Chains A and B, each alone.
Chain A
Amino acid sequence: MNPPRWQDSGKDPDYRFSLANERTFLAWIRTALAVLAGAVLLHQFATALGPKWIVTVASGAMAIASALIASGAFYRWRGNEIAMRHSQTLPSTWLMGVLAMFAGLLAAACGIALLIR
């Protein structure tokens, strides 16, 4: 399959940085999948955790977060590759901040759910 135009542009980066970028992408995907596994487990086993709607909303939010992390991972990989090819600084990303915020909100929601019941 022919590479997309951006993957041919600029200069080939040091392959070790490319491999590191690839592993970073895969780590983000595993993070997304871990969040998704958490969503499934929460929904399946949190039968006594407060009102049902909180569990539903929390696991739904986790599933959506997982999709956002996965797609963000792709664009981050692509953005890094392009930056490396043109000898630019790596772009900043909203991914980490969103993940941290999301984890905090989830913990708070579960805490509230435990208190309400």
Chain B
Amino acid sequence: MIGRDPGLQPERTALAWVRTASSLLVVALLLLRAGFASSSGSVVVAGTFLMVCAAATYGLALYRQRRLVLDPTAGVDAALVATVTAFSVLASFTMLTYILHDETFR
């Protein structure tokens, strides 16, 4: 294990994190816009919170990248994986809330 060239895998992993954070940012922006368009307070709040989550994911990407620079063999914390999953599921629930709101008040 010692001295085995990690190659470009750590770099690809860090980039994968950044791309995931960017995807979450796009979804947060779309939901935020939808909230404003339909004057739904709860969706605006949720969308804003998702923007914060997207920013946090960029932070997680940076943290992960730093860890990999120090030790390319460092496995990912399950907590990081769970957090990103939770952000994505939260975004889904926000969309369902928005649809419900749209159905009720249209």
In this assembly, does A115 line the interface, its C-beta being within 8 Å of a C-beta of chain B?
no
Question: CB distance A40 to B9 under 8 Å?
Answer: no
CB distance from B81 to the nearest CB of A (A): 6
Q: Which among A12-20, A95-103, A105-113 touches the partner chain?
A: A12-20
Task: Tell whether, in the assembled complex, residue A33 and residue B88 are in contact, meaning their CB atoms are under 8 Å apart.
Answer: yes
Contact partners of A3 in chain B: CB under 8 A:
77-78
B residues in contact with A34, CB < 8 Å: 23
Contact residue range for chain B?
A: 35 or more
Separation in Å of the A27 CB from the closest CB of chain B?
A: 7
Interface pair B92/A63, CB less than 8 Å apart = yes
Interface check A87, CB cutoff 8 A: no
A43 and B99 contact, CB distance less than 8 A? yes
Cβ contact of A29, chosen from B23, B72, B99, cutoff 8 A: B23
Interface size on A, residues (CB 8 A): 40
Q: Which of B's residues lie within 8 Å of A, judged by CB? A: 1, 6-7, 9-10, 12-13, 16-17, 19-20, 23-24, 26-27, 30-31, 34, 37, 72-79, 81-82, 84-85, 88-89, 91-93, 95-96, 98-99, 102-103
29 A-B contact pairs sorted by A residue (CB < 8 Å): A4-B78, A7-B78, A15-B6, A15-B72, A19-B10, A19-B12, A26-B16, A26-B17, A26-B19, A26-B20, A29-B84, A30-B23, A32-B92, A33-B23, A33-B26, A37-B23, A43-B99, A44-B30, A56-B102, A59-B99, A60-B99, A63-B92, A66-B91, A66-B95, A67-B88, A67-B89, A67-B92, A70-B88, A78-B78
